[in-house]
């Protein structure tokens, strides 16, 4: 599977397999009898699996692209530059970028505290970080409304504002950076940091020149995941943001309303646009990461 999707905790640990496999002596596990050629039976199995995968996912996704291309380029441009749609896409992308920036800082900080600090109740914080993964998205919206809605005890009401979109994105993307940085930070060799310090590096220099370059790939992977998740989010903000046209409506809501109004071409155009933006941002983040790694 691709390395960019290191979404769940302890991927490095998991790659060594669960306890029974890992407790065996760690001899070299080369597979001398590498991947086999397909036999008749396995070929049939592959055929069945591919038919199911195509029927379930591939053909439908191709259908979105085909539906987008039906009206040609002018229709696509018209659909995504329609003022209400353009406003929704702009809002989605800007809020997703802002949330990703917050996650890069806060996620790294949370991972740092969880790995390097010891205090009672740390295990509880670990559970808190997994909650956004686990909660059904509609329940996530409900949960945020309870504190930040009209009857919240803090007196802060973000319902039906742009802040609601930001907050919903922030909630659902919380685990991504934390969970991708945490295992890397735990494996990081502290000798190198001590060496840097003994050679006269200040704390900030050590962080910038030693730790940050080592963490950069993990931070990048987490940032890409949280951006992709944010721009595709729907459930968490449906109750929270009010879906006000031109103000708090996001891309996925726009797709749904086009579909419900019997305009599947426009819906497909917005969907393709979201996929495109997602790919672009992930590619950009990866480029940036390579530059940071080189400078370090």
Stretch 51-90 residues interacting with another protein (CB under 8 A): 52-53, 56-61, 63-64, 67
With CA atoms as reference, report the closest residue to 267 among 87, 62, 65.
65
Length, in residues, of the chain: 296
Q: Which of 97, 256, 292, 293 binds another protein (CB under 8 A)?
A: 256
**Residues 197 to 236 in contact with another protein, rule: CB under 8 A:** 197, 203, 206-207, 211, 228, 231-235
With CA atoms as reference, report the closest residue to 132 among 122, 123, 124, 141.
141
Contact 236, 74 (CB under 8 A): no
**Residues 13 to 42 in contact with another protein, rule: CB under 8 A:** 13-23, 29-38, 41-42
Q: Report the nearest approach of another protein to the CB of residue 180 (Å).
A: 14
**Residues 229 to 248 in contact with another protein, rule: CB under 8 A:** 231-235, 238-239
Contacts 24+ apart (CB under 8 A), 200-207: none
d(CA 38, CA 41): 8
Beta strands (DSSP E) in 51-169 are none
Q: Which stretch binds another protein (CB under 8 A): 72-80, 157-165, 241-249, 252-260?
A: 252-260
Q: Report the nearest approach of another protein to the CB of residue 183 (Å).
A: 9
Q: Exposed (0-12), middle (13-18) or buried (19+): which is 231, by Cβ within 10 Å?
A: buried
d(CA 80, CA 247): 16
249 interacts with another protein by CB under 8 A: no
* Interface pattern 90-109 for another protein (x via CB under 8 A): ----------------x--x
Q: Which of 97, 115, 163, 259 binds another protein (CB under 8 A)?
A: 259
295 interacts with another protein by CB under 8 A: no
| Contact partners, residue 178, CB within 8 Å, separation at least 6 | 107, 110, 111, 114, 129, 222
With CA atoms as reference, report the closest residue to 96 among 271, 238, 226.
226
Q: Report the nearest approach of another protein to the CB of residue 275 (Å).
A: 7
Q: Which of 69, 86, 193, 213 binds another protein (CB under 8 A)?
A: 193
Q: Which stretch binds another protein (CB under 8 A): 77-85, 126-134, 214-222, 288-296?
A: 126-134
């Amino acid at each position: 599977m691709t390395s960019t999707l290191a979404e769940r905790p302890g991927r490095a640990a998991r790659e060594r397999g669960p306890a029974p496999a890992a407790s065996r002596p760690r001899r070299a596990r080369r597979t001398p009898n590498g991947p086999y050629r397909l036999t008749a039976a396995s070929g049939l199995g592959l055929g069945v699996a591919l038919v199911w995968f195509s029927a379930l996912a591939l053909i439908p996704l191709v259908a979105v692209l085909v539906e987008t291309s039906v009206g040609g380029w002018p229709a696509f441009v018209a659909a995504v530059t329609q003022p209400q749609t353009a406003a929704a896409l702009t809002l989605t992308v800007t809020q997703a970028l802002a949330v990703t920036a917050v996650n890069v800082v806060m996620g790294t900080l949370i991972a740092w505290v969880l790995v390097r600090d010891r205090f009672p109740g740390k295990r509880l914080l670990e559970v808190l970080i997994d909650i956004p993964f686990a909660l059904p998205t509609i329940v996530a919206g409900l949960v945020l409304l309870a504190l930040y809605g009209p009857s919240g005890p803090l007196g802060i009401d973000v319902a039906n504002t742009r802040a609601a979109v930001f907050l919903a994105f922030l909630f659902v993307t919380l685990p991504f950076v934390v969970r991708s940085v945490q295992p890397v930070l735990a494996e990081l060799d502290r000798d190198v940091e001590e060496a840097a310090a003994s050679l006269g590096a200040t704390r900030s220099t050590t962080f910038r020149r030693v730790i940050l370059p080592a963490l950069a790939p993990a931070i990048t992977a987490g940032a890409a995941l949280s951006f992709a998740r944010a721009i595709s989010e729907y459930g968490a903000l449906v109750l929270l943001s009010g879906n006000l046209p031109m103000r708090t409506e996001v891309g996925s809501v726009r797709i749904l309303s086009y579909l419900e109004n019997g305009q599947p071409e426009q819906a497909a155009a917005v969907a393709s646009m979201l996929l495109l933006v997602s790919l672009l941002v992930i590619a950009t983040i990866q480029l940036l990461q390579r530059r940071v790694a080189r400078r370090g």
